[in-house]
Chain A
Amino acid sequence: MAVPDASRSHSSSPLTSSLAWGLWLWVAVTIWAAFYYAPLAAGFIGESSRILFFHVPMAWTSFVAFIAAGVWSLRYLFGGRRTEHDRAATAAVELGMVFCILATVTGALWARIMWGAYWNWDPRQISITLALLFYAAYLVLRGAVEDPDARARLSAAYAALGLIVAPFLFFVLPRITFSLHPESVINAQGKVEMESRMLQVLLSGSAAFTAFFFWLHNLRCRIAALAERDAAEKEA
């Protein structure tokens, strides 16, 4: 995918403007649908199942962000050590952390409603904590290396390692032992358990949040590039 580059002018071409507006509309519709269009799920207390339409997309988006960070890191390492790839990877980790924290918080809120405690240390909660720790460690590593080239190279290697760790944390570890988590949406036989409307909102929400992430990522990269250029000019 194309990496945002500040040297190209991005401001308000009619296409990008309408795309941005479209994205906002899509997110708004999804939020409305979460409350008014989708029915309540059986077995959940009160309206609490609606949190699902936010919690799941956010967790999914953070996973996408972390994978994107890993991919950009590989491109940095093996594709010519270009700073824009390093910048893209860092931005992806930062945004991924935000979505991950939000997913953790919404998960905890929902756990409180359903089972009376915010934190149960069930495998899903353990996994998401480990993911937070892993990517927080990425940011710590960046702070611990002075030379910019070494900083980019070493943190890229760590984020690339995340391409193994993240899928393991998000998909393998939670399934290992009995979980308090409701059975996954798609069960072992591949049948879809949820009512179709709920599924629609869920999928739409996941897609919307993912698109939202990429839009935010684009902005973040451009800001970082401009900041760098600014700092370089000040030195000269």
Chain B
Amino acid sequence: MPRRSSFVAETAAVFLKDWRTELRTRYALNAVALFAVTTLVVVSLGLGPLGAVGGDRASILPVLLWLILLFAASAGLPRSFAHEEETHTATALRLAARPVAVFCGKLLYSLTLILAIEALVAPLFAAMLQLPVESPGRLVAALAVGGYGLAAASTLVAAIVAQARGKGALFAVLAFPVLIPVLLLAMAATRAAVGGGAEDGALLQALLYDASVTVGGLMLFPPIWNP
């Protein structure tokens, strides 16, 4: 019997491989960064010299921030599975790695990609739109929890969509109903972090959603991945 590798080693291998290929082609990073920055500029111009008035700003701007993150994620994340299926490397991966390791490796990849986008967009956002941040700690928490939700749900849906036709549009159709709840919660938490109000447990509920999606993903990925 051939020796088995550890789950952690397999997950790490998948994660590193995805980043290595990504850094070499920079396809997703470019698309996502370009998209995020362009949207940011357009939004800034739109809100213009008038800007958003005082108290309004705390309500509107978190919404816009998360919309930018949502669309950026939709531009960059589905590719990790779609590319494997298109280039037929998925077959090799199916035979060589255990399914849960593939899921976790790709999830970590998506998560780090999103965190990288957030690290780029959030400060730019705060600067360009003069967003005053009352509680940076809570903002980071909101970005982390919301970002994880985006990553986990997108990874699972991307795995489904990669085996169907109509990749780009289909991803949006399937993913948005799953992503919007966590986005709404993240928006509420961000609003509280920025404007300093009470957030009514939004962060906790987002965390709960994240955990549920993760558990669901771990259970559902093997039958999605393998026939």
Name A's B-contacting residues (CB within 8 A).
77-78, 126, 130-131, 133-134, 137, 140-141, 144-146, 149-150, 153-154, 156-158, 160-161, 163-165, 168-169, 172-173, 176-177
What is the chain A residue whose CB lies nearest that of B160? Answer: A154
* Cβ-defined partner of A145 (8 Å) among B164, B178, B219: B164
B interface secondary structure, majority? helix
The B194-224 residues at the A interface (CB cut-off 8 A) are: 200, 202, 205, 209, 212-213, 216, 219-220, 223-224
* Cβ-defined partner of B205 (8 Å) among A145, A165, A172: A172
Asked if A153 contacts B170 (CB within 8 A), the reply is: no
Q: Taking the complex as formed, is B165 at the interface, i.e. its CB lies under 8 A from any CB of chain A?
A: yes
- Return B219 CB to nearest CB of chain A, in Å: 8
- Whether A177 contacts B200 in the complex (CB less than 8 A), given A130-B181, A168-B209, comes out as yes
Residues of A within 8 A of B173 (CB): 137, 140
Asked if B216 contacts A153 (CB within 8 A), the reply is: no
Asked if B177 contacts A130 (CB within 8 A), the reply is: yes
Asked if B170 contacts A133 (CB within 8 A), the reply is: no
In the complex, A78→B222 CA distance in Å? 11
* Cβ-defined partner of A168 (8 Å) among B156, B160, B170, B181: B181
Residues of B within 8 A of A160 (CB): 216, 219-220
Q: Taking the complex as formed, is B140 at the interface, i.e. its CB lies under 8 A from any CB of chain A?
A: no
What is the chain A residue whose CB lies nearest that of B176? Answer: A133
Residues of B within 8 A of A163 (CB): 216
Name B's A-contacting residues (CB within 8 A).
156, 160, 163-166, 170, 173-174, 176-178, 180-181, 184-185, 188, 200, 202, 205, 209, 212-213, 216, 219-220, 223-224, 227
What is the chain B residue whose CB lies nearest that of A123? Answer: B184
Asked if B227 contacts A149 (CB within 8 A), the reply is: yes
Asked if B224 contacts A154 (CB within 8 A), the reply is: yes
- Whether A164 contacts B213 in the complex (CB less than 8 A), given A130-B177, A172-B205, comes out as yes
In the complex, A96→B224 CA distance in Å? 24
A144, A153, A177 — which one has the most chain B CB atoms within 10 A of its CB?
A144
Residues of A within 8 A of B223 (CB): 77-78, 153, 156-157
- Whether A154 contacts B184 in the complex (CB less than 8 A), given A141-B170, A165-B177, comes out as no
**5 more A-B contacts (CB under 8 A) besides A165-B181, A168-B181?**
A77-B223, A134-B178, A137-B173, A145-B163, A158-B160
Number of A-B contacts (CB under 8 A): 79
Asked if A176 contacts B185 (CB within 8 A), the reply is: yes
Asked if B216 contacts A176 (CB within 8 A), the reply is: no
In the complex, A172→B209 CA distance in Å? 10
Contact sample, A vs B, 24 pairs, CB 8 Å cutoff: A77-B220, A77-B223, A78-B223, A130-B180, A137-B177, A140-B174, A141-B170, A144-B165, A145-B165, A149-B227, A150-B163, A150-B227, A154-B163, A157-B160, A160-B219, A161-B178, A164-B212, A165-B177, A168-B212, A169-B181, A176-B184, A176-B185, A176-B188, A177-B188
In the complex, A163→B156 CA distance in Å? 14
In the complex, A107→B212 CA distance in Å? 29
- Return A86 CB to nearest CB of chain B, in Å: 13
In the complex, A177→B166 CA distance in Å? 36
What is the chain B residue whose CB lies nearest that of A131? Answer: B177
In the complex, A156→B188 CA distance in Å? 32
In the complex, A137→B157 CA distance in Å? 11
- Return A219 CB to nearest CB of chain B, in Å: 28
- Return A60 CB to nearest CB of chain B, in Å: 20
In the complex, A172→B212 CA distance in Å? 13
Asked if A133 contacts B177 (CB within 8 A), the reply is: yes
- Return B165 CB to nearest CB of chain A, in Å: 5
In the complex, A145→B165 CA distance in Å? 6
In the complex, A201→B226 CA distance in Å? 48
Residues of A within 8 A of B224 (CB): 153-154, 157
In the complex, A133→B177 CA distance in Å? 6
- 9 closest A-B pairs by beta carbon, nearest first, are A134-B177, A144-B164, A133-B177, A164-B212, A77-B223, A157-B220, A145-B164, A137-B174, A157-B224
